[in-house]
Structure 1
Amino acid sequence: MKRILVLGGGPGGLVAAYNLAKLLRGKAEITLVDKTGYHLFPPSLLWVMVGQREPEDIMRPLSRLEKHGVKIVTASVESIDPDNNKVATSGGEFEYDFLVVSLGSIPRPELMKTDDTVCSPWTVEGALDCRRKLAGFKSGRVVVGAWSWPYKCPPAPFEAAFLVKYLVEQRGGDAQVTVVHFWKKPMEPFGPTMAEAFQSFLDMYGVGFKGGVEPVEAREGRLVAGSGEEIEYDLAVFAPPHEPPKPVAESPLGDESLGGYMRVDKRTLRSPRYGNVFGVGDIIAPSLGLGMAGIFAHFQAEYVASQIADEILGTYMGEHYNMSGVCVMDLGYAGAAVYCDFSKKVMGEADYPDCVILGGMRAFRPLKYAFERYWLEKWFA
């Protein structure tokens, strides 16, 4: 019986393990290794920040996958040896015939030169820290931005800015909220259509934007940019630097030219050196030239599962690689959904993805609630 080892219980690892179990129906041994034993729904971290959710509301035990035939191992990955088809973990060593690497990227807020005037809701702890800092906040200057690229969910700083503005206005307060970003225009890498749409939202709801800002330090209410410019604030919310997990970066799978992230073939998502090793999600985003988002990991995992099933079963026609992304946002004042086709961008045939934005009306706010419910019920009901 073939042994399939999936590393990471985020969106990519979850979907890969679940789909493989459904497709192979006991014809392979599927093991998922995750350091926490829980799946977290990251898009709802901003709701944790503003008190709409508690952490337990957006977490589910991975053990629920065991009824589908997936063995769950709660352990940290320590090293990956693709030359010998082995992975060492804190729970022992595992051999494999197929390996799916979906270990994500690691938010590193400690790499920012900041003090307690700054918070970073890209983790549960960070979201709760932002909630504490927002408690009773009714007026003042708030800057929201990104410290460096890449980071999880490119539109998230904009969504966070809208939610903070909405929360303060709900209290009858008045906050001057500004998105500061190293991009010169809102959502600049996504093309003129997206830049114009996001600028329209910013103008509509009174959120400022200052581009070309590369943060160096944020302390005592003063943000210092690489240009030497200083911006004063009362509260700062930042997407932190992200790094690849050390077991990948320090293995033959890590590519120094990609900052230690994993290189894959853009069409197959396989390692160019190891044909039985696949990458999914944030860990391969720099290789594909994509941002980091759970929806990318979702579609990539479906495709990878189809390829592995095809090899094990002999013939299985499954999913092509869907190079598109969907982002559903709660702006407080309204909801919005963005759909982008990245196929030509990934293959080097276009400078920007082909994007369409829907929403901008209050009636669209339930979209994100519906997506959250769909996601948590589909895999864990």
Structure 2
Amino acid sequence: MNKIIVLFLILIGLYPSDIYAQNKILFVTSNQDFYGNTKITAANHFEEIIVPYNAFIKAGYSVDFVSPKGGAIPIGYINASDSLQKKYLYDGWFMDKLEHTRKPDEIISDNYSVIFYTGGGAAMYGVAEDQAIQKIARSIYNRNGVVAAICHGTAGITYLKDEKGKSLYTGRKITGYPDEFENRNAAYYKTFPFAIDKAIKNNQGNFVYSKNGGDAFYIVDGRFVTGQDPSSAPKVAEEIIKILDNNFKPNAAAKNDLEQIRAVLLDYIEGTANGEPKRLRKAFHPKFNLYTVAKDTLWTRSGEKYISDIKAGEKTNRIGNIISIDIEKDAAIAKAEILIPNWRRFTDYFLLLKYEGNWKIVHKSYSWIELPKQEKK
């Protein structure tokens, strides 16, 4: 009997962590503001962050950010005319993640199935030599996880070794931004602590690259996925997702949380728009409240009052859209946008909790802006 209890305790201690890890990806970024000791600004490459981030989120994964010092990181190489970059550049939820990256000692490696090193000139500094980040990467890899990098982000894996001091990628093909493509006479280059391709080779890796450049060149060798430059970001993300789907087949429980939360939010959005009080009762905790500020005064409304104002079968012209969902075990935060043409655009923030096997909205805060009224023709 005691053996059964011990085994049960071991299983409940390990299994939830394994399931949870399957749905989490860790992005590694740099805090470096300048190239070396110069006044030449350095940055993390925005496109190399948001392209894979967007792919992972759409595939049902959640993403956290870490940097050697934590906190705000510099971003650059921004094309505000690009629709995807513009979307995230003006997404306060997402930008808050970049402003508050986590410190390595705040990261529990068992919670992640992928570590992804993003690029940009800043990636050449502070990341590769950070032993705490190295330890996180080693732990993720040893748990059947993926180590990935793109462009100058490959600098971050140059010193990766196992517990015995042997390279983690001996003989494996690795790509990144080749030294041949650098402007070796430029002031920025003279501050580089090393050349990526040479450093990879010194750590027993087989550095490969395309002489064409900008042709989406990437390499998958085992559970190492690396891309040469920004053009490879979509393929790198796609290959990572493929590996996760193959290596973590029992990840339905983790993805199911995301699907459940989406369903709860749709019960709220569609239930309100289509006059379905039953769906609202399904989505809300019985003690759910709504909060906003009107004329500089906190205004509170009970969920019960909100539901009672919804008349069954009475449809409205509300248009709802789920913007983001961030899950941390049994707690989640979500953001949605509700458009009511010719009146207002609402931004809703939700706190959801999971108990008794179900997710419920327990809190909603919201704000709005007035929309110009269009004249009827």
TM over 0.5: no
Higher relative contact order (CA 8 A, sep 6+): 1
Q: TM-score, normalised to structure 2's length? A: 0.25
Structure with max Cα Rg: 2
Q: TM-score, normalised to structure 1's length? A: 0.25
